[in-house]
Amino acid sequence: MINSLEFILPVLIVTLFAGVLLPILFRNKEKVDKGPGLVYYKLSYRRKMIRTLTTIPLLIIIIIATSYLTDLDGVETLVFTSVIVVLTIIQFFYNYYKWKKHEER
């Protein structure tokens, strides 16, 4: 079994680094609304919302893998799963709201 801190800490560091750096790099750039877009920050809000929905199966796999590969107990697994679910829901509705707001202009 992998120590949960050894597993989660590097993932959090990389995620925070990418979450701070990439939005700065792609600010005021042309957004992709059709066709493939690999970089999340280059997508329009509509495409971000669609990507959020399409990543749900991957999130389920990540949650299951994390619960089996780490030494998290039931409560820690529940908290981890709850955080992922709540953040995904917030991300979806945020992108939906911004898409509709941007569409009105």
10-residue stretch averages of pLDDT, the chain, 105 residues long: 72 87 84 81 91 94 89 88 95 96 86
What is the widest separation between alpha-carbon atoms in the chain?
52
Enumerate residues 6+ apart whose C-beta is below 8 A from 2: 69, 70, 71
Q: How far is the C-alpha of 64 from the C-alpha of 68, rounded, in Å?
A: 6
What pTM value is reported for the model? 0.75
C-beta separation of 40 from 51 below 8 A: yes
Strand (E) or helix (H) holding 66: helix 56-69
In the prediction, which pLDDT does 48 show? Answer: 93
